[in-house]
Amino acid sequence: MVEFYGKTFQSRLLIGTARYPSPETVLETIKSSGAEIVTMSLRREAQGQEAGKRFWDLLKDSHVTILPNTAGCHSVKEAITIAHMAREIFKTPWIKLEIIGDDQTQQPDPFGLVEATRILISEGFEVFPYTTEDAIVAERLVSLGCKVIMPWGAPIGSGQGILVPRAIKLLRQRFPETTIVLDAGIGKPSHAAQAMELGCDAVLVNTALALAHNPVLMGEAFKNAVTAGRLGFTGGMMDEREMAAPSTPVIGKPFYL
């Protein structure tokens, strides 16, 4: 099980709800993936109020836990405003905090992120900060009271996987009591398995599911990949070697001159 702010869940796979062909496809993918937590952008839903209400009603009937996010925000003030609206609409103190600092890479603004986190936590929010893999930024977020951090693997929607695996491994070592969710850049099930093998507690996937030829089948693939990666981490994987080591011992075997 994985814990988020005192709540436990069986699934270590979180999924986003944007860019799918239809609301029905989202629901089918949630089911096939086994995900119990889904993210939802208040900004996106507000753009099409009637369609957004229908989608929200469908999600409520699916009994998943909603993690609202501040996707698309570029300033502290904007993110805080969206967070307050989300708390009122979704009736949850949870907020996935995103403040974008660069439009091309969608890289988080670390300065705005830390400041907004400080304000929101003081106002009773339970913050899931979307951040880079930088350990100093993570230290600031944890010291403010974040029990969860969500480092990126690569730019959002790029599908490049984890660009700096050692940094993710370092976060696990530095913050053993913090729940770490690999967020952004995941493109393949193997990327999700790698994140779990590095010690992440969970993985958030959106684009890799939504843009797959068969999102429902891909949801099942990611479910299995996350499970395999977690088992690999907890099972204790062998250390890498520079040279070959025979897998079959030769001591005691007969030989001929």
Active site residues: 96
CA atoms lying within 13 Å on the CB side of residue 140 = 16
Overall residue count recorded for the chain in this entry: 257
Q: How far apart are CA 87 and CA 198, in angstroms?
A: 33
- State the alpha helices, DSSP H only, in 34-109: 42-47, 49-62, 76-90
Going from the C-alpha of 229 to that of each of 152, 178, 183, 200, 225, the distances in angstroms are 18, 19, 16, 9, 6
Q: Which amino acid would we find at residue 231? A: L
Q: How far apart are CA 53 and CA 217, in angstroms?
A: 27
Q: Which amino acid would we find at residue 103? A: D
- For residues 109, 138, 156, 51, the Cα torsion angle rounded to the nearest 10 degrees is -80
